[in-house]
Amino acid sequence: MDRDKPLLLLVEDDPRLAEQFRWALQTSYGIETAGDREAALDALERVRPDLVLLDLCLPPQNAPEEGFRILEAARAAGATAVVMSGLDERQAALRAIERGAYDFFQKPLDLDALRVVLARAVERRAIEAENRRLRDELRDRFHLDGVVAISAPMRAVTAAVQRVADTSVTVILEGESGTGKELVARAIHYNSSRRDGPFVALHCAALPESLLESELFGHEKGAFTGASTIRIGRFEAASGGTLFLDEVGCLAPATQSKLLRVLEQRTVERIGSNRAHTVDMRLVAATNENLEARVRRGEFREDLYFRIHVFPIRLPPLRERVEDVSLLAEHFLKLAAEARGAAPKRLSEEAAKALRARAWPGNVRELRNVVDTLSVLTDGETINLDDVLRVAPRPGQGVEPGPETVGFKAAIEVYERKVLVEAIRRAGGVKARAARDLGLDASQMKYLTRKHGL
């Protein structure tokens, strides 16, 4: 049997018709035939076909129930089934679709139509296989056994995730920017019973309020200028899975009110509609601000705070988990090497010590950016202390470069980074607060922190 082609099990009790099918399809498929229920069940077990082309009415009863039994066995064997029916069997074919058949083909024979139906079935199998591969890859990536950490604070985070993941409880992740809140949110999702559903993420501080509401709740056609089509929002898109709302403390009061209603009623109304759509999603929120303090200042609704502050998990900044720095750096070096198809570089003890000694105001995100830069700029197989100091100088080390030594543009960028680092430090790692202190909006702060690896 040629397994370079998809293997098709043809279940047809008319020998002449079966031969016509074989002749028409053999160039594109490997063909196995069966003429009744018992032969079909045996072939499903013996050859494990990719596709089953199935006549519903078969011996010994010559009734659709025979075909339904084969259809059930085909689904259990992981095969994609296409059923055939006569003009008077259309209702039976539709029942087969309800029971898991991919499509049905109506006799008399139309080879062009049959080839299209089977080709679509093969394409769907390929898409499903790729989706399974990606889901398995994501599960492996976010499996808790793979957490790169040995510190006590991160062991506490892992324990909390294990406790809460397979529940429906709302989780809020608290911690400075760059501590890995989205990675933890994904770990919660992929270690839960919702793992096969969607994981939908939205950074609330990255969008203006007018766009944010459309992103969250969706809109109807014509709801506002430019709304040329219906669009579902993130709540609906996350139904059956998990919705991750990062920087939830940045939501405007009107959006907070609408979010509270969704969480209480589990329904959402698109902009421009008064029709409620039921949503079944698990909420994981994240903030780098002190929401309790924002409640006291009247900047965040108290009732929404209690609705989302059900199971808090605090992610420690990198300076509180120094013993993880070398592990993380080696992990990022390995990822950088895999991306280039090269052997990973290693850190000398002096280089690793220098990395552990840094304060890392940008936390894990900043560490990864530095390591990625080191992996590219270091010539040898070993990253030494001089390499680290060239890419990430110690605070106050040497004389700051000026326009006469590095050029005007480079000097401006050095000063820009210094101002950002100092503002983030004064704000206790809370970038939204640092942005307010500097007179920057959310999009400007996001651009600058990414530019400087903070």
Domain containing residue 103: CATH number: 3.40.50.2300
Q: Is residue 370 a contact partner of residue 183, using CB atoms and an 8 Å limit? A: no
Q: What is the pTM of this model?
A: 0.61
Residues 280 and 338 in one domain: no
Distance, CA of 200 to chain centre? 7
Give tens-digit pLDDT for 169-195: 999 999 998 898 998 999 999 889 998
Residues 182 and 53 in one domain: no
Residues 227 and 172 in one domain: yes
Residues 167 and 64 in one domain: no
Give the number of other Cβ atoms within 10 Å of residue 334's Cβ: 14
DSSP class of residue 454? -
For residue 2, being part of any structural domain is answered with no
Residues 103 and 184 in one domain: no
Which of 136, 167, 189 terminates a domain? The answer is 136
Residues 303 and 213 in one domain: yes
Task: Determine the pLDDT at residue 399.
Answer: 41
Task: Determine the pLDDT at residue 410.
Answer: 58
Task: Determine the pLDDT at residue 401.
Answer: 45
Residues 125 and 183 in one domain: no
Distance between CA atoms of residues 418 and 433, nearest Å: 17
Angle between helices 181-190 and 152-164 (to 10 degrees): 40
Q: Give per-residue burial for 31-42: e unless 16+ CB within 10 Å, then b.
A: bbbbbbbebbbe
Residues 295 and 179 in one domain: yes
Domain containing residue 377: CATH number: 1.10.8.60
For residue 1, being part of any structural domain is answered with no
Give tens-digit pLDDT for 229-249: 888 889 999 999 999 999 999
Partnered with residue 245 across adjacent β-strands are 202, 285
Domain containing residue 198: CATH number: 3.40.50.300
DSSP class of residue 143? -
Task: Determine the pLDDT at residue 2.
Answer: 53
For residue 223, being part of any structural domain is answered with yes
Which of 136, 156, 175 terminates a domain? The answer is 136
Residues 300 and 169 in one domain: yes
Residues 157 and 229 in one domain: yes
For residue 221, being part of any structural domain is answered with yes
Residues 297 and 331 in one domain: no
What is the number of domains present in the chain?
A: 3
DSSP class of residue 206? G
Task: Determine the pLDDT at residue 448.
Answer: 80
* Residue carrying the six token digits 């919660």: 188
Residues 311 and 330 in one domain: no
Q: The domain containing residue 282 runs over which residues? A: 147-316
Angle subtended at Cα 371 by Cα 357 and Cα 326, rounded to the nearest 5 degrees: 45
Residue ranges in the chain whose pLDDT is less than 70:
1-3, 86-90, 109, 131-147, 394-411, 413-414, 453
Which of 85, 107, 136 terminates a domain? The answer is 136
- N residues, the chain: 454
DSSP class of residue 63? B
For residue 291, being part of any structural domain is answered with yes
Distance between CA atoms of residues 15 and 91, nearest Å: 25
Smallest CA-to-CA distance from 334 within 368, 366, 360, 378 is with 368
